[in-house]
Structure 1
């Protein structure tokens, strides 16, 4: 099985997700999307694979979301994608793609449905314990 994670190493959720993937025995392809953003076509494909509205992929916290006025519903999906292309920090993370599908893994335990095997229990950086088989994505 191959797994790709669109990762921000400064994000605890992204780090937890990466460690859960590794605990399953897979070393994923890691794309630090702030250094190597997806192309517009790749971003649109990820959104389609996840089956989510474009707006659901936009991150608000720690981004220029407010200064760009993105809370206003006037923006089209194409315009929202343009903003994410211009400001990759607006792309919410982590996005994980495996043979089983693609998900925005917030919270990090959502990744468990994309893994080849159950990982048992996992302790997140904040001390929260999660168990595979007990989460819905």
Structure 2
């Protein structure tokens, strides 16, 4: 079990609250980042993306959100850095919850992704 676990959290989101509860039940003291109040920097987003091991930052974005469509982020010519910069500028685009544990990360949709990470 990694020493430091970080939860990118939105308290208004039931999945995010469920992830926090899961960590608490497991006795894991997480650093909770309310990412709408304290948005991750572009560099932090790059690190999270790398730890997710995903093909595209879209895996950590709220792709069904109206803002995603308004900003035309579905454009296939956008680079990973373009997408990460969009999240940095508009943290509401970040999917939630995301747990980072050591060198790995998981989007908690479904929560089983977090279970597998732990």
TM-score, length-normalised on structure 1?
Answer: 0.77
Moved more, 45-54 or 92-101: 92-101
For residues 12-46 of structure 1, give each alpha carbon's deviation from its aligned partner in whole angstroms, at most 9, with x where no partner exists: 11111111111001121100011101111111011
Partner of 1:21: 23
Gaps of 5+ in 2: none
Equivalences, count: 115
Residues 99 and 114, structure 1, Cα contact 8 Å, conserved in 2 = no
- Once the 2 structures are TM-superposed, how far is the Cα of residue 100 of structure 1 from its aligned partner? 6.8
Residues 5 and 29, structure 1, Cα contact 8 Å, conserved in 2 = yes
Structure 2 distance, partners of 1:18, 1:63, is: 26
Structure 2 distance, partners of 1:66, 1:86, is: 15
* Structure (1 or 2) with the greater helix fraction: 2
Partner of 1:2: 4
Structure 1 distance, partners of 2:7, 2:115, is: 13
TM-score, length-normalised on structure 2?
Answer: 0.88
Structure 1 residues 100 and 81, CA, compared in 2 at 3 Å: closer, same or farther?
closer
Partner of 2:100: 97
Select 1:113's aligned residue among 96, 99, 116.
116
Residues 17 and 109, structure 1, Cα contact 8 Å, conserved in 2 = no
- Once the 2 structures are TM-superposed, how far is the Cα of residue 63 of structure 1 from its aligned partner? 4.5
Partner of 2:72: 69
SS in 1 for 2:28: coil
Which structure is larger by alpha-carbon Rg, 1 or 2? Answer: 1
